[in-house]
Amino acid sequence: EVQLQQSGPEVGRPGSSVKISCKASGYTFTDYVMNWVKQSPGQGLEWIGWIDPEYGSTDYAEKFKKKATLTADTSSNTAYIQLSSLTSEDTATYFCARSTEGIVSSLDYWGQGVMVTVSS
């Protein structure tokens, strides 16, 4: 059974960074691209970017290029997103989601989401 287990809620101070994880199981981690999606409170979904765990290649939505850094650890089958220079705009739930096939494809499995709160 494919599962994406994300880490717990995070609280970050303005100006700091947070790093959240997404541990994959039930499939070969390096065979599928991992995406990250943001959902601000009461708002819709925003695609942040993807990482190919096999090669470490990434792509980001323009607005997240200076905000998010995607990495992957193939030894632990875990994908990460680091959010830097936190502001109140970064308060949101962040989901990881697996692409079905390559980078031009659907998102078939999702993590449960991680709430990040930016507060002083």
Partner 1 sequence: DIQMTQSPPVLSASVGDRVTLSCKASQNINKNLDWYQQKHGEAPKLLIYYTNNLQTGIPSRFSGSGSGTDYTLTISSLQPEDVATYYCYQYNSGWTFGGGTKLELK
Which residues contribute to the site for partner 1 (CB under 8 A)? 35, 37, 44-47, 50, 61-62, 95, 97, 100, 103-108, 110-113
Beta strand extents in 8-91 (DSSP E only): 10-12, 18-25, 34-39, 45-51, 58-60, 68-73, 78-83
84 touches 65 (CB < 8 A): no
- Residue 28: CB partners within 8 Å, gap ≥ 6? none
Nearer to partner 1, 77 or 113 (CB): 113
CB of 77 to partner 1, least distance (A): 19
Residue 40: strand, helix, or coil: coil
CB closer to partner 1 out of 10 and 46: 46
CB of 89 to partner 1, least distance (A): 18
User: Please, which residue, 46 or 54, has the CB nearer to partner 1?
Assistant: 46
Shortest distance (Å) from residue 64 CB to partner 1: 11
